[in-house]
Each structure stands twice: as structure tokens, then as C-alpha cells.
Chains A and B, each alone.
Chain A
Amino acid sequence: MNELLMVDNLKKYFPVNVGSMSRKKIVDLKAVDGVSFQLDEGEILALVGESGSGKSTTAYTIMGLYKVTEGKIFFKGADISMEVTKRPLSLKKEIQIVFQDPGTSLNPQRTIRQILDLPLRVHKIVPKGNINEKVEELLKTVELPADYMFKYPRMIGGGERQMVAIARALATNPSLVILDEPTSALDVSIQAKIIIMLLKLQRDFKLSYLFITHDLSLMRNVATRMAIMYLGKINEIAPAQELFANPLHPYTQMLLSSIPVVTEKERNLKPKQIKSIGEIPSPVNPPSGCGFHPRCPFKLELCLENDPQPVEVTPGHFVRCFLYKN
């Protein structure tokens, strides 16, 4: 399969003030600290992590919303790690994003038609005369009636608003869509509807998704490959089925055993109960060595000092932990 996106040792640091008065100094908050992965065409890669793990920062840096501190991003073989103003328009339209909360990502003062025609005009997708038709077509692809184009976002439901946000992302015929927790603000019955639609669109338009989420059970049903992030680094990356069948990293095991489930069948699928302890440390002052060691039940002497490197345990299954060797 063709490689679409390649992220190589990506770092994104934010300067923050710590201390007060005379002891004030500026230190780096290492939101993303050396992340590497690749995304093939037609793939759904899930980037899973808790809040503060840097998953959204990774996505926004790929989008160009943040400037890269260090490392490279390649899209279809071309380097796009420059500042976003220097990124060619033709590449910008190839990568689109759907944000978490459609209540704030859609301008409340614009009608749905105005929201959807902006990307069409910026990227000159269709001739001026055909914009109305194209907007209608976009609404049709997300199964909304055509007369919604005269409504304002507040007049429609939360699920429908997210559909509009998806239509806006599709307006420029992108090849990569970044989905930043698109359903976490919605109820399960609406989430199901949106996920089914996203999967259908992915097939119909041959899209690739980078799915940012904290919901592991959802990803079990959606993703082809999953990356587990913790404290700005990827701890484990594997095909979805493999990751659930054979979770290797202690953090992945902790995450999986923390998921509340409904049936006995699912309960048996969870790894042997690993008790969740501790909290994610502050990325301003991360622990030495492996970032997970303060919470890890299997930590070794080695982990306190050294940061492990990723090892490929089985083909395609990488884990960043000293417990495993090539």
C-alpha cells in the first residue's frame, strides 16, 4: 500500500512560565516528544491516549495549526514540516480536520451554506456558478436535507452539526481527514450514526483517517491500526486486532482493564486485571527515564534512568518498553 503520511521524530514544545517573581523562568512543556509513525492510503489509524498525552497536539501540528519544533512530516512524499503559511495551497486542501465540539467549530453567525461554501471558494473547487449545487451535493453526502443550507448551526441538533463539520472537511476532496474526538461530545445513539457514516464515506471517497480519541472500545470497531500515546510519546503501535488480543505495554494493559464493559464476554477479553494507579505526570516536569515508570507495576531498575526505544516484537507490532526485546 502507498504511504500517505509519514511523521518522523516529531517534537512540539510550548514555552511556559513557571515560578513567580524573581524565580520566574521559561521552560519547555514537551507536549509531543519524538513521535514517529506512518499512515498508509485507505487506513484508519487511531491515536489513543488520555488527556495531556499530546494526541491532539500531534494532530494539530500535522494540520499546520502549530509550528513544528523539531522533526519532519511528509505527506505523499513531500516535506510539509515548514510553517503553514509557506505550505502550498494544493497540499493544504488534501488534509482536513473535524473538531471535537461542533458547537464551537461552526461559526454561529454563518448559515450552513456560508460555512460550506468557504472552502469551495478558497480552493476554487467548483466554478462560482456551481457553488449552490456543490453545497447541496455535500449535504446529500452526509444525508442532510438540502434546505438545511439556510439554517444556522444553533437551529440543528448536535449530531447534525457534526455532520455539517464533516461535510465541510469533505468539501475540498481531501485524501487525509484528521478526526479529533468527533463523537465524544455526543450520545451513543448519535455516535453510532456518525461512525457508520464516517466508515461509509471512507470507502466511497477512498479516504484515510487519523482518528484521535480516548475511546478504546470504539476504536476496536473502527480502526485498522492503533497507536497508544502517553506523555508525548507513542508507547505501543499495532494493528487493532493484534493490540486488543495481545497488549504488550503495561500502560496499554492498564487502559484496557480500565474500560467499563457491559457483558461477560467482553469482561473476559480484558487483560488480567491490572489495577490503575497514579495519574499522568505534568509534561512540564516529566519523570526521568520511561515516563510511565511511576505508575508501572512491572518497572525495572533500568526504567528509572533510561528511556526505552521502540522494538518490533511481532511484524508491525512495536512497543516501547524494556520488558520486551526484538
Chain B
Amino acid sequence: MSELLLNIKDLMVGYKVFGGVLRVLNGITIKVNKGERIGIVGETGSGKTTAAKTILRILPRTARIFGGEILFQNKDVLKMPRSELSVLRGQGISMIFQDPTASLNPVFTVGSIISDVIRYSRTLSSSNKSSQIKETAIDAFRLASLPDADRLLANYPFQLSGGMRQRVCIAMALATARDLLIADEPTTNLDVTIQDQVLRLIRELVDKKKTSFILITHSLGVASEMTDRIYVMYAGTIVEQANTQDLFEKPYHPYTHALLSCIPKLSGEGIAPGIPGRMPDYLNPPQGCRFSPRCPRVLPICEKEKPPLIEVEPGHEVACFLFATKQGVPQ
């Protein structure tokens, strides 16, 4: 058994809004081992970005953490003082965001942006010479297969194409050694051939640096090509967790089933009619299983109790009462 790097236990997060609290994350549990590549897959509004932001504690002010813990290298991120959080963000975990245009400051050159990152993480540790910083920056750009690295450092973000900007963000995230890289929809804004290039780059770098990796995406195709293990999220809950291959070959949860049947396939077998209804209102989420109002195989118990994660096969967990008999949970 490999070493546990990140352990999220029963995390509950909400947002305070006019008229109440949006109860988004409803007790999620995610484990990431060292060197593992994890996918968190879900539709818009399923809470996957909230989960990622909670790990780095970069939630907006309106957010409230109601419970649970996030153990990163056996330290609880939720109880860390500011100084330790800085070290965590500077050396432990880095993140690539969805929109590279929004995550690069338009009034600085990409060189000065990446130098800041390197300088900051260095002040935390060792030497800090500007020539060394530039060298590290150029190395990082080369690794991210950005052409003409020395010249590129003097460019502003707007002078680069979308694919190049995302490469700059990747270079920034991996310029200094990190234990965990979180990528939040890193290729959603890119074209399919550019997406292929960027994904290949992330995969190579993650493999080379042996960084653990969390990929957040709505695209099951991207997740299937990039990860070892996948968590499927629906309305702020983890509904299923399995090895990537097992998940696509043998999905258990009715939601995973429905979601998989909705993806248009290259083999041209037609498209399933979608999932009836819509994502629940977080102000007043359904009692019990949050998928129950849309579930085609709903049981009476689903509307009352929240289903626990049940291990149906080794390493394959499903939060659904349909598979509860083995554990002796009433059906």
C-alpha cells in the first residue's frame, strides 16, 4: 500500500447567500496516494471546484466550512495558521486554473510573473539570486515545451495564444518542486488538437516529477486518458469511486450509468435521452440521497437517508442503497 498524501474526510462546505446557506459539499471523502493521478468528474455545479479550492483554502469570503478535515501530509489544512498556509501554497500544492487569461496578470510580463512564483518559494527555503531565478524560469518554460524561452519571458500574456498561456500556467505550477498538482478544467477553453498537446504535456511532467495529481473535469474522455482513479461527484456528494478502467467498464451508480450513456461515442451508437430533471437547489437540497429525485431506480429509503460509500468490489466504492445488502444495511 502506498503512502497517503492527501486525505479529505467528510468535508462539508457551503456558501452564505441572501436568504440562507447553499449547502454545496455534503460530506465528501477523497484520498490521494503519493504519485497517484486522481480525477474528480462531475457536471457544472456539482461542487468539484469548491472541493479543490477548499484544499488550498482559497475559497471566497462567503464560503463556510461546516465540518470535516483535510489532512495533507498528516497536517490538517483547515486548522493551519496563515504562516503554514503560505508554505503549503508555496511549496506543497500548486494549482492550474481553467482560464489562463484570468490567471495571468495582464500588466506584467510572463517572465516577471513566473519569477515571482519562484522567488517566493525560494525565500521559503534557500538561495535567491535573480540570475538563478531566471535560469529556473527558462528551464521551466523549456520543460513546458514553450519555444524560444528566453525571448518569451519578455512577452505579456496577451501576446500569447490560449494554448501557450496555459503552458505558461503549467510551467509556473511546476517550476518549483511540489507534492501535489491540482488542475481545474485545464483544457476546457482549448481546441481539441491543442487540448491533446496540453494534456500530453501535463501527463509527461507529472510522470517525470512524480507529482501526485488531481484533475478536475466535466469531460469523462479527458479523465479516462489522464487518471488512475476517478471520483464521480453529483450535487456535492461523491457517488462513485473506482479505478478508471473499472469505472468505465462496470459503473454501478445509476448516475454514473446515465452520465456515461449521455456521452456521444465515436462508434456512433446514438445518444441516450439524457437525465430527466435538473441539479437540486443547494438552498434546499433533497433529504437523503441527492440524486433520488432524478433516479430511475429510487427506493423508499433513498429519500430519507444519505447512502454511505459501500465497497462493492475491492477498490470500487458506490454511494447507493441498491448495493447495500452485502453490508447488512437495510434495503
Contact = CB atoms under 8 A, between A and B. Distances in A.
A188 B197 contact: no
A89 interface: no
Contact-residue size bin, chain A (C-beta under 8 Å from the other chain): 35 or more
A262 B224 CA distance: 6
Interface centre among A191, A195, A244, A276 (most CB of B within 10 A): A276
Nearest to A190: B274
Interface string B146-188: 0000000000000001011000000000000000000000000
Interface in B183-224: 191-197, 199, 218-222, 224
Interface in A96-154: none
Interface string B87-120: 0000000000000000000000000000000000
Main secondary structure, interface of A, reads helix
Interface in A213-263: 214-218, 220-222, 240-241, 244, 254-255, 257-263
Q: Chain A CB within 10 Å — which of B163, B164, B248, B262 has the most?
A: B262
Contacts of B218: 187-188
Given A196-B271, A221-B265, A258 B221 contact: no
Contacts of A259: 192, 221, 266
Given A188-B43, A188-B262, A260 B224 contact: yes
A193 B273 contact: yes
Interface in B246-261: 248-249, 258-261
Contact of B193 (A191, A218, A258, A262): A258
B225 interface: yes
A189 B267 contact: no
Contacts of B163: 279
For A195, A214, A261, the residue with the greatest tally of chain B CB atoms inside 10 Å of its CB is: A261
Nearest to A53: B191
A94 interface: no
A280 interface: yes
A277 interface: yes
A40 B269 CA distance: 24
B192 A216 contact: yes
B14 to A, nearest CB: 22
Contacts of B271: 192, 195-196, 221
A316 interface: no
A83 interface: no
B295 to A, nearest CB: 13
A195 B262 CA distance: 10
Contacts of B193: 50, 254-255, 258, 276
Contacts of B266: 216-217, 220, 244, 259, 261, 266, 269-270
A265 interface: yes
B141 to A, nearest CB: 16
Contacts of A190: 274
B278 interface: yes
A192 B272 contact: yes
A255 B274 contact: no
Contacts of A262: 220-221, 224, 248, 260, 263, 265
Q: Which 6 A-B pairs have the closest CB atoms?
A: A260-B221, A193-B274, A192-B274, A258-B196, A50-B191, A192-B262
Interface of B: 43-44, 161, 163-164, 191-197, 199, 218-222, 224-225, 248-249, 258-275, 278
